[in-house]
Structure formats: structure tokens, C-alpha cells
A and B are shown apart, each in its own frame.
Chain A
Amino acid sequence: MTFTSPADVRERLATVGYLPDDAIATTVYLAAALGKPLLVEGPAGVGKTELAKAVAEITDAELVRLQCYEGLDEPRALYEWNYKKQLLRIQAAGDESWNATHDDIFTEEFLLERPLLTAIRRSEPTVLLIDETDKADVEVEGLLLEVLSDFQVTIPELGTITAVRRPFVVLTSNATRELSEALKRRCLYLHLDYPSPERERDIVKARVPGIEDALAERLAQLVATLRTLELKKAPSIAETIDWARTLLALGLDRMDADTISATLGVVLKHHSDQERARKELVPDGSSR
């Protein structure tokens, strides 16, 4: 999986509708060139997971996804033996000697691959997405350290399995807890933040075909203004796109105070946020 330059990354990502800025393009290029995992942090809905998907798409790679959650353990992340099938095999064996059976039931056939092992064993291009790493327990980070620094896994019965072809690894995190220094040290780091209004306008135009330039521009400016208010949950890019689609679906092509007031629920999901935005953005006529 190679790119020739950051510009190359930028162009190819743009072909699948992901518009990167300089930092994103360079960091993705470096992660591929240096063969290092890429840790992407930032608020919800700025395109962290999308980035992994887009990279998979432009490199014709398969996306293997490990969704992290509290209580995620080794068998679910790495591999597991298929006990039921093993039991069947033992029962079917009849009076075969124990040694023969024993050798038989710890083979490929009874191995259940989980995302990490899958990603390591694939010989075709692979993008491994470890999503919401911060949701997993600290022990999982230890497991990831081993896998991500050497790209190998040891299964006692089968021996050490080393990656045939290094996957491109993307870890995402909302920073609900601080990841360990050790993990951060092994990764390249990219902090994704809300885009500039100019970039957001382009993203809206790329993702919502049929939207007029002026409307996209205004939408981006509005959302940027909303983000400067102190809200509980600032609108994400995904919500901006939803807003654009809503306006198109309603056949509205102007953003006046009434339209905004009526559709604000698409971007702001807390009542107090909506109230605040209405008060700040929509003039009530008397204050003029």
C-alpha cells in the first residue's frame, strides 16, 4: 500500500468524496510510508472512521474492523477455539487414540479468527480499523501494543503467526480517557478537528450532490457560527450534511430565520442548545 506523495493521497481521497487538508494527507502518507499505526483523535463526527473507510477504498483494500467496548477481551479481539466443533470431533473420533485426536482438534479448521488475527493473516491489502479504542479496557491496550509493534501473534498450539503483509492500521478515539503513553508512542498521531468553513463547504458539495454553491457556503458559515457558541454538543460534519440533505428534501433553497428555526433540530440535539442557538442567531424583530 503505497502513495507517491501527500498530494497523491489528497487526490485519491478526493475521488471517493473525502476531502483532506494538508495535515491529514501528509499524516496518512507518512503512516503508509513508515508502516506505522495511525491514531486519530477528535470530537465525534469529524470523520475519523470515515478516513479509514476512505483509505481502504482508494487502495482496494479490505476493511477489517474491531469495534472496542468495555469488556472486550482477547478471545473477541484476537482468536478463539471453536469448542463446539472440537467436541463434535472428539465424539466422532470413537476409539481413535488420544494423541491423534489431540493433534487433530487444534488445527486451522477449529480456529475462529477475530479481527486482529484476520488482519494479520491476510495476504491481500488490508486496512485494520480499531474503532473507539478509548472505550476498551486498559488490558486491551496491552494486547494491541504487542500486535501493533511486531505485527505478530502467538497461538500456543500453532506457534507464532507473523503478518505476511502489514495492514494499514487506523485507531480512533474520542479521548473519553487518555490512552497510554506506550500506545501513543508507537503510533503516528492525528488530531482531527472541525474543518474550516471553506473545507466544510467543499465537503457538503462533494457529499450532497445537487446543492447550490451559495447554499452550501451559507450552511458551512452557519455551522461554524454555531460551533463558536458554547453548546453541549457542537454540530458534527455528519450533521451538517444531514442539514443540507434536509433542506434539499424540503425543497428549501434559502436559509432565512424561519427555515433555520424550523430545521435546527437536525443539527442540535439538546433542547438547551437549540434555545441558545435560536436566541443568538434568530432575531426576534424587536431587538433591531
Chain B
Amino acid sequence: MALLDRHIGFVAALREAGLPVSLAEGLDAVHALEAIDLTERASLRAAYAATVVKRPAHREAFDMLFDLWFPPALGSHEEARDRPAYDDPELVRLRDELSRILLSGDETALRAFARGAVGAYGRGNGGSGQWFSYQVLRTLSADTLMAGLLNSVLAERGGLDEKVARRTFTRRIERFEQLVGEDVRRRLAEETSVERVARANVRPPLEQIDFLRATRADLAALRREMHPLARRLATRLTIRNRHGRRGRLDFRRTVRASLSTGGVPITTHHRPRRPHKPELVVLCDASDSVSSFAHFTLLLTYALREQFAKVRAFAFIDGLDEVTRFFAPGADVVEAMTRMTNEADIVWVSGHSDYGRAFGVFEERYADAITPKTSLLILGDARTNYQNPGLETLRRLAGRARHAYWLNPEPLRDWDSGDSAASAYEGVVPMHECRNLTQLAEFVETLA
């Protein structure tokens, strides 16, 4: 009975965290539990994962919730201690031990050590109140062990060996930090309630992460998601073309074919549809406030190049420059981003975005980039810093293009607050909210 309650609570929590667990899948999980040895925690985790998690992006939330609902241990026996001085002999001994474990890469020992460390140093305010993982991590500061670890495996520093070793230890130290976090959440859950801890800790899945709030790690993950996304979009676009309306009626062929049926045009012939490959001009706000968004959308531009006959990208802050050259085919993406920020002439005076001036410069220098075949795509938060928004210039530019769209990474409710000129611009160019991967993918589908 207790197991059933756990199961139901767990599935409910998964749903709350945004995983679409259907009734049938919940039942599958129960069947799976009957088939395996429940004392094997790894099997239990794999059984749940196989039945209720069907998207890699949901795996992180699943793992966190699983650790809360099916904790690896209960209770703790360690006495809480005050945060020791840096040269406390006990702490020195502990750090030595941690260093030894990290060197060997022994997962079981690492887990036991993390549990002990949380028990000893994890309590807030000298032994009373909440559990905190940062306290443990700061006390032990595992990342400062790196130099010692490297010295003990490398004969000499530098080069390839160091790179490989450094990666191995970084991975283990991250694992240690993960284990500490896991144990802290477990203890919190035991003392308060599992549901509360779960709610406070679950992060949204990758495709829902806000571009503007993405952390560095998120950005790296998003970047990795870029190529599959572009490929997925490409597949969708080609399928759409193939299923599209047949081409214009080919009158001559139809008449000729009708001769064999006495002039009755039984089969009609059509001209092949000319594939519509639009040209794309991207204007991207690259100022600090939207830098992570800009970063990401420029990558998308880069990936979409294959889908469009011609893509030209322009970045602006208060100056504007063409950045297409940094994204040449086969170019290295990360390097292109760095070169763009260093070499492109996009800052004029202040480094605060000035849409009016940017549009002006664009019209003056690159007006011929926009033809009746062009889709114009503007990426930015429409925050003008109370400068002239350049509405008229934009109207002229948009008028020349076949389509014009504006993607705004800010939530809809913030539009028009402060210096945002969202509505004014929306009157000229249709504006879409684009805060995460899902919305971006939806938009690109309409673009084709």
C-alpha cells in the first residue's frame, strides 16, 4: 500500500513538473514494478524512466523527483558542526579524503562522502534550521582541489594530457556537487514535505527555458539543441512542400493526353511546382540586455541558411554592421560569435541599443538587400532607450519586403512598459513573442 501511495504521489509530481504522463503510462509503470526486483534502485529508476519519460529534455526533472520520492537512504547520524576555519585539521583531513576519492573515481565512496559532508556542514545557523548545499560546497570547496589532482596524475603540466585529465576531474567534481544537492533535497524533504521541496526545485524543461533568463549552462545546452532543431525544421519544411498544392495546370499536355480518350480530359497534367526558396534578411539586436537571445537567434540564422536561397544577417546596437561573413559555410560557430562581437562595427557611441539610428544606417547602406522576394526578420526587445524609434524608416523597409516579422524575447505582459515601443512597432510589423525553443519552432513553421 505504501508503495502504491508513493507511486501515485510520484506520478502526480511528474505531471505537475510538466511531464505528460498518461494513465496508460502510469499503469505500464506499475506492471514494470511487478516485473523487477524493487530492492535494486538502479532497476527501479530504469523501469520508471522507460515507462513515463519519453523525451530526453524531461529526464533532468525526472531524476530529481525520483531521488526525492525514492531516496537512497533515510535519516542521518552525523552531528552537525559549525563551519570550521580554513586550516581546521578535521577539514584538512576531509579534503584529503575527498581528493583521494575524486582521484579514484569511486562512485559509491563519493556518494557516502557527500552524505557525510552534508550531515556535518549542511545545517544552517550552526546546527539548527534548514539544510543548504552551498554551505557544504563552500566549506569543502572541491574545485580548489583541481591543481592537486592534476599534479598527482601528470608528470608535467600542459598540453593534451592535462586537457583530458582536467575534463575527467571536472566531471567528478560536478558529480560530487550533484550528490550534495541531492542529499540536501532528500533531507529537506524528510523534514518538511516531499511535494514542497519538489515544487521549489524542479526546473522547466529545456524547450521552455526563457531565452532572457538562460544561464551559461542552458545556453550551451540550447546550442547543442540547435542542429537537431534546424534539421527537424528542415524536414518539416520539405514535407510541407511535397504535400503542397499541385502546380499550375499544364494545358497543352492535358489536351494532348485527352486525345486518347476522345477529347475528354480524364487525367490532368500539371506543371511542377517551383520550389519557393525565399531570401532572408535578419536584423538582430545584439545589445547586452538581449545578448543571450541574440546569440541564440544568430545561431538559428546560421542553421537556417540551407533553407533559404540567400541569408544576410545584420547585427546592431547603436551602430549596424553586416555579420553574414562570420557565418560562412563550414565556419566554426563559437568562433564566429566571438569574432562578431570583436570585429563587427555595431557599437557607435553608447553601447545602448538605438533602433532608430540602426534602421537609418541600414536604409542608407544596405537598402538594396531587401527585394520583393525577401522576408525581413527583426529580432529584439523593442526597447529604444527613449530614442527616436525610426518608425517611418521601418515602414519603408517593411513595405519593400515580401514579409516582415518581429520576434520579441520579452513576455507579452512587459511590452510597452518603460522604454519599450512594442505596440508602435507592432503597428508596422507583426510582432511575435518568442521566449523559448517551443515558440521559436512554432514561428519558423509559419515562416515557411
Which A residues are within 8 Å of any B CB, using their own CB? 5-6, 22-23, 25-27, 29-31, 33-34, 36, 39, 41, 70, 137, 175-178, 181, 184-185, 188-191, 193, 197, 218, 221-222, 224-225, 228, 230, 232, 256-257, 260, 270-272, 275-276, 280-283, 288
Closest A residue to B236 using CB positions: A177
Are the CB atoms of B22 and A185 closer together than 8 Å? yes
Minimum distance in angstroms from B172 CB to a CB of chain A: 11
Residue B7 at the chain A interface, CB threshold 8 Å: no
Minimum distance in angstroms from B32 CB to a CB of chain A: 5
Interface segment out of the listed B221-229, B304-312, B364-372: B221-229
Residue B138 at the chain A interface, CB threshold 8 Å: no
Alpha-carbon separation in the docked complex, A31 to B35 (Å): 10
Contacts of B164 in A (CB 8 A): 218, 221-222, 225
What 1/0 mask marks residues of chain B from 31 to 60 whose CB sits below 8 Å from any chain A CB? 110011100101101110111011010010
Contact flag A177-B24 (CB < 8 Å), given A26-B42, A228-B167: no
Contact flag A189-B50 (CB < 8 Å), given A225-B167, A257-B160, A283-B160: yes
Shortest 4 CB-CB distances between A and B: which pairs?
A26-B46, A22-B42, A33-B35, A283-B159
Are the CB atoms of A22 and B46 closer together than 8 Å? yes
Residue B163 at the chain A interface, CB threshold 8 Å: yes
Contacts of B228 in A (CB 8 A): 175-176
Minimum distance in angstroms from A201 CB to a CB of chain B: 12
From B28, B50, B235, A190 is in contact (CB under 8 Å) with B50
Contacts of A230 in B (CB 8 A): 220, 223-224, 333-334
Are the CB atoms of A191 and B167 closer together than 8 Å? no
Contacts of B43 in A (CB 8 A): 6, 22, 26
Alpha-carbon separation in the docked complex, A281 to B167 (Å): 12
Are the CB atoms of A270 and B330 closer together than 8 Å? yes
Besides A6-B46, A27-B49, A188-B32, 19 new A-B residue pairs in contact (Cβ under 8 A), listed by A number:
A5-B37, A23-B45, A23-B46, A27-B47, A34-B28, A177-B235, A178-B232, A185-B54, A189-B50, A189-B51, A191-B53, A221-B167, A221-B168, A230-B220, A270-B330, A272-B331, A276-B335, A280-B163, A283-B158
Contacts of B390 in A (CB 8 A): none
Residue B345 at the chain A interface, CB threshold 8 Å: no
Alpha-carbon separation in the docked complex, A261 to B173 (Å): 30
From A33, A181, A189, A281, B160 is in contact (CB under 8 Å) with A281
Are the CB atoms of B330 and A30 closer together than 8 Å? no
Are the CB atoms of A30 and B47 closer together than 8 Å? yes
Q: For chain A, what secondary structure do more than half of its interface residues adopt (helix, strand, loop), or is it mixed?
A: helix
Contacts of B45 in A (CB 8 A): 23
Alpha-carbon separation in the docked complex, A112 to B40 (Å): 47
Residue B231 at the chain A interface, CB threshold 8 Å: yes
Are the CB atoms of B235 and A176 closer together than 8 Å? yes
Are the CB atoms of A281 and B163 closer together than 8 Å? yes
Q: For chain B, what secondary structure do more than half of its interface residues adopt (helix, strand, loop), or is it mixed?
A: helix
Contacts of B167 in A (CB 8 A): 221, 224-225, 228
Closest B residue to A191 using CB positions: B56
Contacts of B42 in A (CB 8 A): 22-23, 26
Alpha-carbon separation in the docked complex, A27 to B42 (Å): 11
Minimum distance in angstroms from A15 CB to a CB of chain B: 21
Contacts of A221 in B (CB 8 A): 164, 167-168
Alpha-carbon separation in the docked complex, A230 to B227 (Å): 11
Task: List residues 223-276 of chain B with CB under 8 A from any CB of chain A.
Answer: 223-224, 227-228, 231-232, 235-236, 239
Residue B332 at the chain A interface, CB threshold 8 Å: yes
Minimum distance in angstroms from B410 CB to a CB of chain A: 27
Are the CB atoms of B46 and A27 closer together than 8 Å? yes
Alpha-carbon separation in the docked complex, A221 to B105 (Å): 14
Residue B25 at the chain A interface, CB threshold 8 Å: yes
Residue B20 at the chain A interface, CB threshold 8 Å: yes
Contacts of B159 in A (CB 8 A): 257, 283, 288
Are the CB atoms of A260 and B160 closer together than 8 Å? yes
Task: List residues 298-352 of chain B with CB under 8 A from any CB of chain A.
Answer: 330-335
Task: Please name 21 pairs of A and B residues whose Cβ atoms are closer than 8 Å in the assembled complex, sorted by A.
Answer: A6-B36, A6-B43, A22-B43, A23-B42, A23-B45, A23-B50, A25-B46, A26-B50, A27-B46, A176-B228, A176-B231, A185-B54, A188-B32, A189-B50, A189-B51, A197-B168, A221-B164, A225-B163, A256-B160, A282-B160, A288-B159
Alpha-carbon separation in the docked complex, A207 to B239 (Å): 39
Alpha-carbon separation in the docked complex, A230 to B239 (Å): 29
Are the CB atoms of B160 and A272 closer together than 8 Å? no
Minimum distance in angstroms from A105 CB to a CB of chain B: 28
Contacts of B56 in A (CB 8 A): 41, 191, 193
Minimum distance in angstroms from A235 CB to a CB of chain B: 14
Closest A residue to B23 using CB positions: A185
Alpha-carbon separation in the docked complex, A184 to B50 (Å): 11
Minimum distance in angstroms from A38 CB to a CB of chain B: 8
Are the CB atoms of A185 and B168 closer together than 8 Å? no
Contacts of B227 in A (CB 8 A): 232
Contact flag A188-B51 (CB < 8 Å), given A6-B36, A177-B236: yes
Task: List residues 52-89 of chain B with CB under 8 A from any CB of chain A.
Answer: 53-54, 56, 59
Contacts of A288 in B (CB 8 A): 158-159
Contacts of A225 in B (CB 8 A): 163-164, 167
Contacts of B236 in A (CB 8 A): 177
From B20, B224, B334, A181 is in contact (CB under 8 Å) with B20
Alpha-carbon separation in the docked complex, A197 to B105 (Å): 12
Alpha-carbon separation in the docked complex, A176 to B230 (Å): 9
